[in-house]
Structure 1
């Protein structure tokens, strides 16, 4: 038995060694082709500088960079330290301010393109795919150039990066290059197009990288299962629901309610919670309305949507008497006996999609953990819901 265990350990070490060796071999060739810059940064006049700066901030918002790279302590959107919990360990968003010691102040626009589109940072450092380069691989070079220009104009934040806590063997970073060979598409600029749905597709699939949370993962490599794109997934203990037009229709969404949800965080279908709240705070609420409408046009494919669903009340014999008693005693004071809610105060429950999901984990978490009082973008506010 001891000999067999020793042999298994030896085989395991050999496997890890092979991964490391293969990863080191691929280190230098994993960044793909880098298209030339689209702008001469040294020759910009005042008007061009302003336009490029504004576009860079739009890319920053649409790319949802701050949701992972903001500081939970200071709120600075570039300081890093957001924890990203994965089955392989915990990662932390990095400092992406122009700090030369802790951030990306020494990076060129080419460096940023390779990191964003290929997952390779300067020094041939392979990034973990929590950086959504699998989705960003189609980002346009023009968008990266604008983003780099905007980032370099922000104040440097002198805050050191928080070390990752990945489990063995996933803490062997060169081996990520092997993962990239199997799962990362080569960088290839998309054509965003000019019509609304094409623009929405680019915003949802590339910049917004919605599939990273809302698509199932494969069981072997934990890569996005592209055969079930936007088909829903459980991530960090929460359910990211399907975003296909059929699923959205079944849950009673309309295009106008989606626009309202992205802009304000509230709609008849519920409110933004968990990881979606930072997306609202830093991204969708600050995007141009035409971009938000393009996203909803793509997600719904401009189909006619039925609107909020109200399930018929079950027969008295089918009611869970204990559940009804708890709801009336604990919830009805704010959400109403019939679950109609209160405007600008308590979301309705009769049309709330969280109560319609095939899994109750989000509803259970909200009930157990509660919702803290907080402001919403564009003038809204959520009152405290006790856990």
Structure 2
């Protein structure tokens, strides 16, 4: 018995030491590269150029999509909820308010927060701040972003406390996570890259992988880059070249989707709509083409491929479609230009996970302005008029008819999605 207790004590001691070592490693911020320029002595032209670059970085990095004030008033004052399996985080105030924002940040402070996930007081930031992607931001772009942020209107709005379950609400524990999963800050080097602009926009500033890459049990990104993931109650689809080709994308349609929010493959919904509003609709055609080329990675994307009639066995689903959907989307799913999306080339029914399709039918899509003059009419929410069985029948019809998927969505699967969404 005494020997067993000694062994257990030794194991506990080893565990404590291991956690302590990981904690120490995770607190190490590493080297901070020097400022790209003398920010205190900028000439007028250089300052203007940096401000323009900083505005571009803020848009390409999609800062406002997480830091916007959901009550209006500022794109940077914070308060937007981000739901995770561990609880809810709230975007922080990144206006130059000295009381509640980042008005006291130096350019070095901003770089360390963005690239290393560490605030000026040594406090670890939760990786909802996507420093696992931003770790490759260049120091020049971080400095330009700092200069631009410090020119914005300060908003004295207090930050909302995060609502995380135990033990994830113990912030120092992030140091252990950092030791295991945080990549070392290493400014982006374009040398030798075939499409450096596309890679920088997708993998660094755009941090697309933060939503579109699967995560492990510790909620860290896996090596299955852009292979698709369920996040905040929606499926962020697979963006790898073969998946894009299979779903009928073309480079031109990817550019249109990011620029206007609408293409033959669908319309921006869920968390991608703020990305359109705050980020991609403001990027140049060269930027968007670089993104599309990087995602294609040399694969010839075929473009929309309409499916021939037939193939759908969900008879009751077909009847529901004719009664509820065909008036806008057409008997054959052809849709109406600038009004209702076509379904014969739409990708939502093609996803392996029916989550988005179920939610869109149940919740509808509000009427909204997209970008570049595009506008979408409202799609009604049918969740209140369809039983879960009817919803499953309609979903199966759409997946069989236009998605090339089996009609295997069960009533229980629909119930699970709808109940899970209510819990959010």
Is the Cα–Cα contact under 8 Å of residues 24 and 174 in structure 1 kept in the other structure?
A: no
Q: Give SS of 1:84's match.
A: strand
Spell out, residue by residue over 1:313-351, the C-alpha distance to the aligned partner (whole angstroms, 9 max, x if none): 225xx5311101111111111111100000000000010
CA distance in 1, matches of 2:23, 2:353: 43
CA distance in 1, matches of 2:379, 2:271: 18
Counterpart in the other structure of 1:93: 91
Spell out, residue by residue over 1:79-121, the C-alpha distance to the aligned partner (whole angstroms, 9 max, x if none): 1111111111110000000000000000000000000000000
Q: How does 1:42-191 map to 2 (within 5 A)?
A: 42-74=40-72, 76-191=74-189
Q: How many angstroms does 1:38 deviate by? A: 0.5
Counterpart in the other structure of 2:403: none
CA distance in 1, matches of 2:192, 2:376: 37
Q: How many angstroms does 1:36 deviate by? A: 0.3
Matched, 1:385 2:379: yes
CA distance in 1, matches of 2:297, 2:178: 31
Q: Give SS of 1:218's match.
A: coil
Q: How does 1:336-347 map to 2 (within 5 A)?
A: 336-347=330-341
Q: Structure 1 residue aligned with 2:262, among 235, 260, 266?
A: 266
Matched, 1:253 2:249: yes
Q: How many angstroms does 1:301 deviate by? A: 1.7
Counterpart in the other structure of 2:219: 222
CA distance in 1, matches of 2:300, 2:23: 52
Q: Give SS of 2:88's match.
A: strand
Counterpart in the other structure of 1:288: 284
Counterpart in the other structure of 1:327: 321
Spell out, residue by residue over 1:193-214, the C-alpha distance to the aligned partner (whole angstroms, 9 max, x if none): 5977221011100111111110
Scaled by the length of structure 2, the TM-score of the pair is: 0.84
Q: How many angstroms does 1:382 deviate by? A: 1.0
Q: How does 1:230-249 map to 2 (within 5 A)?
A: 230-249=226-245
Q: Give SS of 1:58's match.
A: helix
Query: 1:189–1:97: structure 2 CA closer, same or farther, 3 Å change rule?
Result: same
Q: Relative to structure 2, which stretch is displaced further, 39-48 or 328-337? A: 39-48
Q: How many angstroms does 1:225 deviate by? A: 0.6
Q: Relative to structure 2, which stretch is displaced further, 249-258 or 306-315? A: 306-315
Q: Give SS of 2:133's match.
A: helix
CA distance in 2, matches of 1:194, 1:45: 33
Is the Cα–Cα contact under 8 Å of residues 20 and 172 in structure 1 kept in the other structure?
A: no
Unmatched tracts of structure 1, length 5 or more: 1-10
Q: How many angstroms does 1:312 deviate by? A: 2.1
CA distance in 2, matches of 1:196, 1:21: 41
Q: Structure 2 residue aligned with 1:22, among 20, 23, 27?
A: 20
Q: Structure 2 residue aligned with 1:31, among 29, 32, 35?
A: 29
Query: 1:197–1:94: structure 2 CA closer, same or farther, 3 Å change rule?
Result: same
Q: Give SS of 2:343's match.
A: coil
CA distance in 1, matches of 2:289, 2:65: 21
Query: 1:23–1:267: structure 2 CA closer, same or farther, 3 Å change rule?
Result: farther
Q: How many angstroms does 1:355 deviate by? A: 1.0
Query: 1:45–1:357: structure 2 CA closer, same or farther, 3 Å change rule?
Result: same
Counterpart in the other structure of 1:6: none
Spell out, residue by residue over 1:340-375, the C-alpha distance to the aligned partner (whole angstroms, 9 max, x if none): 000000000010000111111101101101111111
How many residues align? The count is: 372
Q: How many angstroms does 1:29 deviate by? A: 3.9
Q: How many angstroms does 1:218 deviate by? A: 1.1
Query: 1:168–1:19: structure 2 CA closer, same or farther, 3 Å change rule?
Result: farther
Is the Cα–Cα contact under 8 Å of residues 26 and 178 in structure 2 kept in the other structure?
A: no
Scaled by the length of structure 1, the TM-score of the pair is: 0.92
Is the Cα–Cα contact under 8 Å of residues 112 and 144 in structure 1 kept in the other structure?
A: yes
Is the Cα–Cα contact under 8 Å of residues 19 and 175 in structure 1 kept in the other structure?
A: no
